[in-house]
Amino acid sequence: MHPVLNPGIFVFATPRTGETLDPDRIVASMREPEGVSVIVDADYAQQVNLVPILRCAWITLSVHSALDAVGLTAAFAKALADKGISCNVVAGARHDHLFVPEHQAQAAIDALDALQRTA
């Protein structure tokens, strides 16, 4: 899996209706019936007065993962859950990206490294 901790702190937030964000600053977004959820770096969120819902660290699994692969998400989710670490996953076309509470970033890396050694 080769987990890589990306520098910085990121937040989940919901922009106000009609608010325009710089698309180059959005890490990920999801349109939901209640509105758009975004993940942006914490500094940018503060600059544009977004209210953080969750502050987190961003871990990228640098191994190339297929979108139709079976079992990888379950394996790392279990490894993190066994350590009491919540994880929000965003699948990219090439990699999985994990957003974990910022204060548990190193524990998450340790758990993922341990899983990698046993796989």
Question: How many whole angstroms separate alpha carbon 59 and alpha carbon 34?
Answer: 27
**pTM for the complete prediction?**
0.91
pLDDT tens digits, 3-60:
999 999 999 999 988 889 999 999 999 999 988 999 999 999 999 999 999 999 999 9
Place of tokens 């758990």: 111
Task: Residue 41: name the closest of 7, 6, 10, 12 by CA.
Answer: 10
pLDDT tens digits, 62-114:
877 766 666 778 889 999 999 999 999 998 888 999 999 999 999 999 999 99
What is the pLDDT at residue 58? Answer: 98
How is residue 38 written in tokens?
A: 């975004």
Quote the CATH superfamily of domain 3-118.
VC0802-like (3.30.2130.10)
Burial degree of 66 (CB within 10 A; 0-12, 13-18, 19+): exposed
Domain boundaries, the chain: 3-118
